[in-house]
Every structure is written in C-alpha cells, then in structure tokens.
Amino acid sequence: MKYSDDLYQLIKSMTKQERSYFKKFALTFSDEESSNYIKLFDEIQIQSASGDEYDESKIKGKEFKGKFLKNFSYHKNYLYRMILNSLMIYNKENYDIIILRNLITKFELLFDKNLYSQCRKVLLKAKEIAEKKENYSILYELLIKEKHLNKFTLTISEFSAENKIITKKLDQAVNLMQNTIEYINLNDQFMIKAYSIGSAFCRHEKELEEINKFFENEFLKDDTKAITFRSKNLLFGLKAHHALMKKDFECMYKYNKLLIELWEKKLDNFKERIENYFIAQINLMNSQIRLRRFKEFDQTTEKVKNLDKIFAKNMTERRKTFLFYSISVLTLSKYFAAHEFGKLERNTEEVENSMAVYEYKITLQQRIILYYFLGLYNFVFTKYEKCIYWMEKIISSEKSDFSENYQCFARILHLLSYFELEYYDSLEYSLKSTYHFLKKKDRVFKYENIVLKYLRKSFRLKTSAELIEMLKEMKDEINNIAEDDFEQNALDIFDISQWIDSKIQNKSLIEILVKQISK
C-alpha cells in the first residue's frame, strides 16, 4: 500500500523560520498531544532533510506516547492541518488576501455584536488596502458590506446619497475587474499557443500567421485599453513575447523596459506578485542577449542576483527556484553568444552541480529547456556522454507536450553525440525512434529530414574522403534551407552547419565558432 506523502512534502517545503514557529504553535496543545505531534514533525523533517523518499514504516518504528500510532492516518491529517494553520498565522502579513480576509472576518464578528462604529473603522481599512492593491473582487465585496452597514447606521436621506456613491463605485469596480479578466484570458490563450510551439520561434508559417492574427485583438492593438496595473503588466508582457516571435528584438527590449518601469513605480503595492517583476527582468536579459548588449546584460544579471536579498521577506521556494532556472539558462546562453567559452564551461558544471537541489523543483517545461542547454554545451566541449545523459532526460519526457521544439532538437543532438562516439548500433536504433517521434508530433521539417537522411547515409561510408564529401553535401542543403525564415529558426540555438564545418576542417567546434566571430 502506498501512503500519502502530502505531509512529508509540506514539511520539506517549510523554511527554518516556519519550522521554528510551528513548534511554538504546537505547544498550545496538551503536553501529550504537542509532544507526539512535534516528534512526528521532527521525524518527518529529519527524513526529508536526508533527501530520501517518504518511508512511513520508519516513522511508525519510532516511539510515541499513548495510542498515537493506532490512529496514525488521523494524526497525520491533523498535523497537516495544524501546520497549514501555523503557516497562515506566520505569513499573515505577507499575503494581501489573508490580511483582507482577516479584516472581513473581524467586520462580520463586530457586526454581529452590533458594534457598528468599530465595523466601519475595519471596513475603511480594508477598502483602503483593496484599492491600493487593486483587488477589485474584494473591493466589490466590501462595498456591498458597506451598503448593508449603512442601512443600520444612516438616516434615509444619508443612505440615499451614500447609496448613489457606492453604486457608482460598484460599477467602477466591475469595469476594472472586467478589464483585468479580459487580459488574463488573452494571456492564457496566448500561453497555450506559445507552449504548443515550444520555443521562441515558429517552425510553421501557419503558426506565426495564427499568432499575428491573435494580436489583431482590439485589447492588444491599443495600449490604452489596459487600465489596471495587472492589465498593463499582462499587455506589456504579451507585446514583448510577440516581438520576440517576430524577431523584432528592439520592440521586445522596449516593452520589457516599459514593464520594469511600470513595476518599479508600484513595487511596494504589489510585493505579493513580485515574481512578475522577476519575469520582466529575466525577459529584459533575453532581449539584451538577442541585441548583443552584453555589458547591459551583466548589469541586469547582478541586479537579478540581488533580488532574493532585496525581497527576502517575499522570497518563497518557488521564486528562488524560478530565479535559479532563469539565471542558469540565460547566463549559459550569454556566455555561448559572447563566445566566453572558459566561463561557459565553468558555469555549465556549476549548474549541473546545483541540479541536485533544484532539478525536481523546476517545472517539467523548464526542466526540458534546461536539460537541452546543459546537453548542448557539453556537446560543444566534446563531452558527448554527458550530452547523451541530458538529452535522454528529455526523451524520457516524451509524453509531455511541453516545449516540443526543444524535444525535437534534443533528439537531433542525441543522434549527433552517438555519431561522434561512433556508437553506430545505438545511432541506428535512435534514428528510427527519432523519425517515429517527429512524424507523430508532425515536426518532420526540412531541417530534421536533412539531418536524418545524412546520418542514415553515414552507415554506408567506408573512407574519410567519402565522409567529407557527404558532409559537404549536407552543408549545402542546410545552407539552402537557411534562406527559409521558418527553417532557419531551427538553427537559432545551435547552428548545425558550424558542427559540419568542424568535421570538414578537422577542427573543434569551439575553433570554428571563434573563427566565425573574428571575421
């Protein structure tokens, strides 16, 4: 029987400060109860710190007071609820929704006791916070409560006058809510399209046409349509992403800058959503790489690396993990783009070492992308076994429809690594499975066809001269499709023609890359 590890995962996710607070919180129970719950908490915490998977039999092998183990499932669930309650109290000042919900609860309690003047004080405070934080759904709820309170505290004439004002404010709140929802829905629709494409650029002309048509929406064409902070945040982010897909990197840079300016005017109001500010900085770094503004990139990187200190109180495990992933991918990309190969090799190893901590905290989509970059740069440094290791992690994620372009590119790199290592049996098998995958995903483009065709052809070669001749033919075909904007997108991260040159000229891939940038 497999036991639920929800409690284990919850305890594992807690910070040192949260664990310490929980133990104080648990002491409010009777001695026997608190000692058993604290002991259970400690045993699970020790197990989670070791990195092992949850093993309930080891926990049950420990000594607990009374009949605690006889109803262990109940006590696990009770401890789970205790921890959540302690986390809510500990984090009550860090989440606007908790602050507002607590104020609404206070309002209800005071209202039931007929303490109407105290009710109004609480209500005014809650409204002020809701307006400042642009929480229009809560503001709407508060205005309805204010209407109800006025029935008990105002004269008929006062109530009539106030009712008109509140009704107008309710209409405004609904309008602002609808505006925000419009952009949330547009963002969701776009992200579904972007995820299905799987990388920055489209491989089908039809895909880009569909994206461009999507941006004909009146709410996306006219920036003034976005009237709330959240709407503007979503709009600028969408515009930046669209610019990236069109390869308009100056426009991408412009909207990322606008997004950061928007955030830096209201940082104190929206610290609860601070990850959106992080995303804006990360996307700015991406545009700086695309525009080869490497000094600017370095400055932004230092700023991003300090975010966890600046926003220490707001740093959750999820936010730390996102920063690790984003900084890792973009720093590796920058070193490769700038041909800083010494730094690239060191940084690749550092990220690989950090994967022991972060690998399974990162989302599957992000893991696929990070695996690809780690594999690619190991390939560049002729560490083909390591490249195969990372590519096989992507291949084992075949059932996922995330990052499909990266999944396709990973299989190509996987084949090239087998070719370099002269693992021809593995190469032959991998060729078949790769073609099957690409066909199933409808991703057999000209680029993939050329690579598969020539790798199959390599089995029939007998001399080095024949290999060189084959590679020259392969390069000619790659150069021909490079004129096609959509086929060229396959070469965005890794240009296979550079690898072909390295084989023809009998030089390392790094030598070819350095030679090209010096031209």
Task: Provide DSSP, 161-219.
Answer: HHHHHHHHHHHHHHHHHHHHHHHHHHHHHHHHHHHHH-SSS-SSHHHHHHHHHHTTSHH
Q: 22 CB contacts (<8 Å, ≥6 apart)? A: 14, 41, 82, 83, 86, 87, 90
Angle at CA 362, nearest 5°, toward 254 and 1? 155
- For the stretch 193-210, pLDDT in tens is 887 776 667 777 788 889
| Stretch 267-291: mean pLDDT | 92
Q: Given this model, what pLDDT does residue 396 score?
A: 86
Domain-located, residue 464: yes
Q: Given this model, what pLDDT does residue 2 score?
A: 60
Phi, psi at 190, each rounded to 5°:
-65, -40
Domain boundary among 33, 59, 90: 90
Reference 13, options 55, 57, 44; nearest CA is 44
Q: Given this model, what pLDDT does residue 358 score?
A: 92
Name the percent of the chain lying above pLDDT 70. 94
Q: Given this model, what pLDDT does residue 352 score?
A: 97
256 pLDDT band (50/70/90 cuts)?
Answer: very high
Q: 107 CB contacts (<8 Å, ≥6 apart)? A: 119, 122, 123, 126, 145
Mean pLDDT rounded to a whole number for the chain: 89
pTM of the predicted model, to two decimals?
Answer: 0.82
Reference 380, options 519, 495, 458; nearest CA is 495
Name the token pair of 495.
């240009």
Q: Given this model, what pLDDT does residue 324 score?
A: 96
Domain-located, residue 211: no
| Stretch 356-363: mean pLDDT | 90
Q: What is the number of structural domains in the chain?
A: 2
Reference 502, options 474, 460, 482, 480; nearest CA is 474
| Stretch 335-339: mean pLDDT | 93
Is residue 26 over pLDDT 60? yes
Domain-located, residue 181: no
Reference 142, options 164, 173, 184; nearest CA is 173
Domain boundary among 43, 71, 90: 90
Q: Given this model, what pLDDT does residue 488 score?
A: 74
- For the stretch 454-477, pLDDT in tens is 888 887 777 888 888 998 998 898
Is residue 3 over pLDDT 70? no
283 pLDDT band (50/70/90 cuts)?
Answer: very high
Domain-located, residue 56: yes
443 pLDDT band (50/70/90 cuts)?
Answer: low
What is the CB neighbour count within 10 angstroms for residue 486?
A: 18
- Mark residue 204 as left, alpha or beta (left: phi above 0; alpha: psi -120 to 50; beta: remaining): beta
Reference 351, options 364, 365, 333, 337; nearest CA is 333
| Stretch 168-189: mean pLDDT | 97
Is residue 518 over pLDDT 60? no
Domain-located, residue 253: no
| Stretch 295-324: mean pLDDT | 92
Q: Which of 191-205, 311-325, 345-359, 484-498 has the highest mean pLDDT?
A: 345-359
Q: Given this model, what pLDDT does residue 1 score?
A: 46
- For the stretch 378-428, pLDDT in tens is 999 999 999 999 999 998 875 566 667 788 888 889 989 998 998 888 888
Q: Given this model, what pLDDT does residue 486 score?
A: 75
Domain-located, residue 134: no
Name the percent of the chain lying above pLDDT 90. 53
- For the stretch 139-150, pLDDT in tens is 999 999 999 999
Reference 354, options 346, 381, 50; nearest CA is 346
Is residue 317 over pLDDT 90? no
191 vs 238, higher pLDDT: 238
Q: Which of 97-106, 188-197, 253-262, 435-444 has the lowest mean pLDDT?
A: 435-444
| Stretch 311-322: mean pLDDT | 88
Domain boundary among 69, 90, 111: 90
Domain-located, residue 466: yes
Domain-located, residue 188: no
371 vs 61, higher pLDDT: 371
Q: Given this model, what pLDDT does residue 229 score?
A: 96
Q: List the domain range (segments joined by +) for residue 411.
A: 377-519
Q: Given this model, what pLDDT does residue 29 score?
A: 66
Task: Report the alpha-carbon distance of residue 76 to residue 10 in Å, rounded.
Answer: 12
47 vs 441, higher pLDDT: 47
Question: How far apart are the two ends of the chain, measured CA to CA in Å?
Answer: 65
Number of residues in the chain: 519
> Does residue 214 contact residue 246 with C-beta atoms inside 8 Å?
no
The torsion defined by the Cα of 210, 289, 513 and 453, in degrees rounded to 10, comes to -20
| Stretch 283-312: mean pLDDT | 94
